[in-house]
């Protein structure tokens, strides 16, 4: 089953996606439906859906920003835009972010299933192509070498603002292929590994220095201290402040 996540700020659309679509028939599982772009991106980080369906006009983070972040960090994720008639031309700008398709809200029940089926065919083809490439011995050696180069790049640059395109350009590789290859070789999403690396380094700073939380956040590649705190708690179970206080208490003993 291909995993699907969706976002729309209109309740009737969320209900339609949950109740009126036969996801199983399309070989999919609808894992979450949310009402804004921020929650959708959080879902992508946590659940790694294969397909994302997003409205354009939403509170907090709009659909185009969602598309941009997916394009930069998760290019293997296929994105379908939901658009009202008044947004139609606006939706076309999403093409630069490699959006797979866009569907009119007024005919979502008729247009979304074929759009999803088109995307699942593309995903299946990509999966088959990657598996075929990796079983060929010479190419497998190249793949292993490329994976090692990505690991080395992460080690050297995790504290900087990195996009998938940055890594791909440095290693002279296709970004989508690189992302799929890394997940195939490691079993993990590339940007999950980068986030974990940043959190582990942040823990070291908290255990060995008196730096403030915002200083540590910036040192390990986070511009937004609030976002850093959310990611830190997700991986450790406690906030940065709680972790730092606990380690100081242990050291004082």
Whether the pLDDT of residue 133 is over 70: the answer is no
Query: What is the rounded average pLDDT of the residues 234-247?
Result: 88
Q: Which CATH class is domain 192-252?
A: mainly alpha
Largest CA distance in the chain: 66
Q: Express as a percent the part of the chain with pLDDT over 90.
A: 48
Whether the pLDDT of residue 138 is over 60: the answer is no
Q: Domain coordinates of the chain in residue numbers?
A: 2-131, 136-187, 192-252
| pLDDT computed for residue 252 by the predictor | 45
| pLDDT computed for residue 29 by the predictor | 95
List beta partners, residue 28: 2
Which has the minimum average pLDDT: 35-49, 123-137, 157-171, 208-222?
123-137
Q: Express as a percent the part of the chain with pLDDT over 70.
A: 91
| pLDDT computed for residue 113 by the predictor | 95
Closest CA to 180 of 172, 170, 189: 189
- Residue 159 carries which DSSP code? T
| pLDDT computed for residue 205 by the predictor | 92
Query: What is the rounded average pLDDT of the residues 99-128?
Result: 91
Instruction: Collect all residues with Cβ–Cβ distance below 8 Å to 86 and sequence separation of at least 6.
Output: none
Whether the pLDDT of residue 177 is over 80: the answer is yes
Query: What is the rounded average pLDDT of the residues 1-30?
Result: 94
| Distance separating alpha carbons of residues 63 and 38, to the nearest angstrom | 10
What would the pLDDT profile of 33-64 be if each residue is shown by its tens digit? 999 999 999 999 888 899 999 998 888 888 88
Which has the minimum average pLDDT: 66-70, 139-143, 198-202?
139-143
| pLDDT computed for residue 108 by the predictor | 92
| pLDDT computed for residue 92 by the predictor | 67
Query: What is the rounded average pLDDT of the residues 120-147?
Result: 77
CB 203 within 8 A of CB 170: no
Please tell me whether the overall predicted TM-score, pTM, comes out greater than 0.85 for this model. Answer: no
Closest CA to 6 of 69, 81, 85: 81
Per-residue confidence band for 253, with pLDDT thresholds at 50, 70 and 90: very low
Alpha carbon of 205 to those of 23, 200, 201, 202, 244: distances in Å?
46, 9, 6, 5, 9
Cβ-in-10-Å burial (0-12, 13-18, 19+) of 101 comes to middle
Q: Which CATH class is domain 2-131?
A: alpha beta
Whether the pLDDT of residue 139 is over 90: the answer is no
Whether the pLDDT of residue 102 is over 70: the answer is yes
| Distance separating alpha carbons of residues 58 and 54, to the nearest angstrom | 9
Cβ-in-10-Å burial (0-12, 13-18, 19+) of 180 comes to buried
């Amino acid at each position: 089953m291909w995993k699907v996540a969706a976002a729309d700020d209109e309740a009737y659309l969320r209900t339609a996606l949950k109740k009126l679509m036969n996801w199983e028939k399309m070989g999919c599982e609808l894992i979450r439906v949310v009402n804004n772009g921020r929650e959708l991106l959080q879902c992508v980080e946590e659940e790694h859906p294969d397909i994302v369906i997003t409205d354009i006009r939403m509170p907090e983070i709009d659909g185009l920003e969602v598309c941009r972040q997916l394009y930069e960090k998760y290019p293997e994720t296929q994105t379908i835009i939901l658009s009202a008639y008044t947004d139609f031309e606006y939706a076309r700008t999403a093409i630069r972010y490699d959006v797979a398709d866009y569907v009119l809200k007024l005919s979502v029940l008729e247009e979304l299933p074929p759009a999803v089926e088109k995307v699942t065919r593309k995903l299946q083809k990509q999966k088959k192509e990657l598996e075929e490439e990796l079983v060929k011995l010479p190419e497998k050696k190249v793949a292993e070498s490329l994976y090692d180069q990505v690991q080395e790049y992460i080690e050297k640059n995790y504290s900087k603002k990195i996009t998938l395109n940055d890594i791909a350009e440095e290693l002279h590789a296709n970004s989508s292929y690189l992302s799929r290859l890394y997940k195939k070789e490691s079993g993990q999403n590339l940007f999950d590994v980068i986030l974990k690396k940043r959190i582990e380094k942040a823990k070291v700073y908290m255990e060995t220095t008196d730096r403030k939380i915002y200083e540590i956040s910036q040192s390990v590649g986070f511009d937004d201290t609030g976002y850093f705190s959310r990611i830190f708690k997700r991986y450790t179970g406690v906030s940065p402040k709680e972790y730092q206080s606990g380690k100081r208490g242990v050291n004082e003993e």
